[in-house]
Amino acid sequence: MLHVVSAEESGRRTDLLVASLSGASRSRVAQRAKLGEILVNGASAKPSLLLEEGDVLEFEIPPPRTLVAYAEPIELAVLYEDDDLLVVDKPAGMVTHPAHGAPSGTLVNALLAHTKETLPGDMLRPGLVHRLDRDTSGLLVVAKRDATLEALQAAMKARRIAREYLGLVSGIPQNPRGRIDGPIGRDPRNRLKYTITSEGKPAVTHYTVREAFPKAAELVFTLDTGRTHQIRVHLAAAGHPIINDPLYGKREPRFELPGQALHAWRLAFPHPRTGAIVEFEVPPPPGYLQARRLVSL
């Protein structure tokens, strides 16, 4: 596309004008600029370049590739399965469902290969009742039928699905038990992060100190809500970031973990068909246990 900058557009940043003209996001425009595919007067332009009247913009922003969730033969740790649902232990480092940054190799891809059937719900998040961050390991329940998904989603909304997490944090909380109440929304300064903000959605995290170490502690977390990065945001705001968290704390090479030391270890819910409470527990993976040994010294 060719566009001649008008007097009204003079002084605007290249990325902002291209985004406005193309309908693409500013980040996508910046990606194309880095590839040298946005030209001003025939030369590659930086996204921040301020335009002048008469400048000739030349660009083409292809639409993002359509994401499709397809079956991949990926090893999957299944703790329980029946005709209605299955409970899996997601490893740290695995994305839960396909996204533009991770179109394949996800838990959903593995689930589709394992079940060999269509799962209910969203095409990119089939069967998912809840999610875990990429580097958080542990238990997830997955629905195999439409009625099961609806029942489990209703149970989640009514807080009848109990989830407990284990986490290693920097420092030792002053109180052995606590409640962190802070609405969570996206961080305006970093789109990869979330933060406590008055404009966010309500979020409540409960914690209990399971064991205190010299300069760290292991906590048990339960959630009243399930916001993205909730535990990580709340504990960082409380001054006790999750150990080895690259977004809200710091990564340490001594730990054999891909990211934060956080593990979803217990899960309990009423079975949608029988109504009986089913409970599951899975120990933390070796990387978490290695980190725990190091911080206990």
For residues 171 and 265, state if they share a domain. Answer: yes
For residues 133 and 164, state if they share a domain. Answer: yes
CA angle 233, 98, 79 (to 5 degrees): 80
Instruction: Read off the tokens for 209.
Output: 């100190």
Q: Is residue 123 part of a domain?
A: yes
The DSSP-derived string for 138-151 is: EEEEEESSHHHHHH
- Beta-carbon contacts of 3 under 8 Å, excluding residues fewer than 6 positions away, are 17, 21, 56, 57, 58, 59
d(CA 20, CA 13): 11
Q: Is the dihedral of CA 130, 76, 262, 232 positive or negative?
A: negative
For residues 289 and 142, state if they share a domain. Answer: yes
Q: Is residue 71 part of a domain?
A: no
d(CA 228, CA 187): 12
Collapsing DSSP to helix, strand or coil, 256 comes out as coil
For residues 100 and 242, state if they share a domain. Answer: yes
178, 294, 159, 191: which is closest to 237 by C-alpha?
178
User: Looking at residue 80, what is its pLDDT?
Assistant: 97
Percent with pLDDT over 70 in the chain: 99
User: Looking at residue 190, what is its pLDDT?
Assistant: 85
User: Looking at residue 61, what is its pLDDT?
Assistant: 87
18, 25, 26, 24: which is closest to 1 by C-alpha?
18
Which one of 55, 133, 135, 245 is the catalytic residue? Answer: 133
For residues 106 and 177, state if they share a domain. Answer: yes
Residue 54 burial (CB count, 10 A): 11
Low-confidence ranges of the chain (pLDDT < 50): none
DSSP 8-state code for residue 159: T
Question: Are the CB atoms for 12 and 50 separated by under 8 Å?
Answer: yes
pLDDT, tens digit, 9 for 90 and up, residues 22-44: 888 888 898 889 889 999 999 99
For residues 162 and 202, state if they share a domain. Answer: yes
For residues 100 and 46, state if they share a domain. Answer: no
Instruction: Read off the tokens for 84.
Output: 């209605």
Collapsing DSSP to helix, strand or coil, 116 comes out as coil
User: Looking at residue 179, what is its pLDDT?
Assistant: 97
Question: Which of these three, 14, 32, 59, is where a domain ends?
Answer: 59
Q: Is residue 140 part of a domain?
A: yes
For residues 24 and 137, state if they share a domain. Answer: no
For residues 43 and 113, state if they share a domain. Answer: no
Q: Is residue 70 part of a domain?
A: no
User: Looking at residue 266, what is its pLDDT?
Assistant: 98
Q: Is residue 73 part of a domain?
A: no
For residues 149 and 9, state if they share a domain. Answer: no
Instruction: Report the predicted TM-score, pTM, of the whole model to 2 decimal places.
Output: 0.80
Domain count, the chain: 2
Instruction: Read off the tokens for 125.
Output: 């998040």
Q: Is residue 67 part of a domain?
A: no
Q: Is residue 273 part of a domain?
A: yes
For residues 83 and 35, state if they share a domain. Answer: no
For residues 139 and 13, state if they share a domain. Answer: no
Collapsing DSSP to helix, strand or coil, 221 comes out as strand
What is the domain-level CATH number for residue 52? Answer: 3.10.290.10
93, 94, 92, 88: which is closest to 119 by C-alpha?
88
What Cα–Cα distance (Å) separates residue 167 from each residue in 33, 92, 252? 40, 13, 16
Q: Is residue 115 part of a domain?
A: yes
Containing structural domain, residue 34 = 2-59
User: Looking at residue 72, what is its pLDDT?
Assistant: 95
What is the domain-level CATH number for residue 87? Answer: 3.30.2350.10
Residue 55 annotated to the active site: no
